[in-house]
Chains A and B, each alone.
Chain A
Amino acid sequence: MGGISFPLLADFHPKGAMADSFGLYLADNGITDRATVIIDAAGVIKHISAVGPPGSRDIEAIVALCEKVDAEYTGEKSAPAAAAGIDSGTLYVKSGCGASRAAMLALENLHLGDKIAIKNVSDDAGAMGAMKSAAGNEQAPTLVCGDKTIQESGDIVAHMASCTAPV
């Protein structure tokens, strides 16, 4: 799924309430079943299944089910929204920095490695100079892409996710 993001939602408080509303919360164990639900754009459940917590999903079968649901759907639906995409740029990181690691992990998970280069300012004086001239300080991680310079790792991750969000 290169270049798109998907939201990871917390069914935390009240715990499992959303899973329970689908009948998928395993109250005895305090966990949710490993379940798959396909809901069409009209809000109708077209597929619901669970393989049990130790089980594993058949991803190819789920893809086929999704295609079937889409092919059979005749109601209202918007055209598939293309992700906005991200401008080419550079993610400046430093060694031994958790925030830098978080930004690099998000970049990897969003498959943006072909658009955003990673440069480590801890062992690359040229990269440090370029980052300082863009950001005006020596704070890493720094994302420079398009006309944007972003410095907090949470903001960097949010920007990368928003550029890849299909909604």
Chain B
Amino acid sequence: MLNENSAAPDFELADHLGRKVSLSQFKGKQHVLLLFYPLDFTPT
């Protein structure tokens, strides 16, 4: 996995309504928490 204090790679993905969400849209505005999960209906 990437190292802490390295630059996060930008991404742009669609949400459940098809709207594009990118990391760069938060730059200079907000912190971002990403929670990856392997499968639906599994614990947090």
The answer on a CB contact under 8 Å between A9 and B15 is yes
Task: Determine if A32 and B8 form an interchain contact, defined as CB atoms under 8 angstroms apart.
Answer: no
- Count residues of chain A with CB under 8 A from any CB of chain B: 52
**In angstroms, how far is the closest chain A Cβ from the Cβ of B22?**
10
CB proximity of A6 to chain B, nearest CB, Å: 9
A115 interface residue, CB < 8 Å from B? no
Which A residues from 32 to 65 make CB contacts under 8 A with B? 32-48, 50, 53, 56-57, 59, 62
Interface residues of A (CB under 8 A from B): 7-11, 18-19, 21-24, 26, 29, 31-48, 50, 53, 56-57, 59, 62, 66, 69-70, 73, 75-78, 80-81, 154, 157-158, 161, 167
What 9 A-B pairs are tightest by C-beta distance, nearest first?
A23-B1, A31-B38, A9-B13, A7-B15, A35-B36, A37-B34, A21-B9, A53-B38, A18-B11
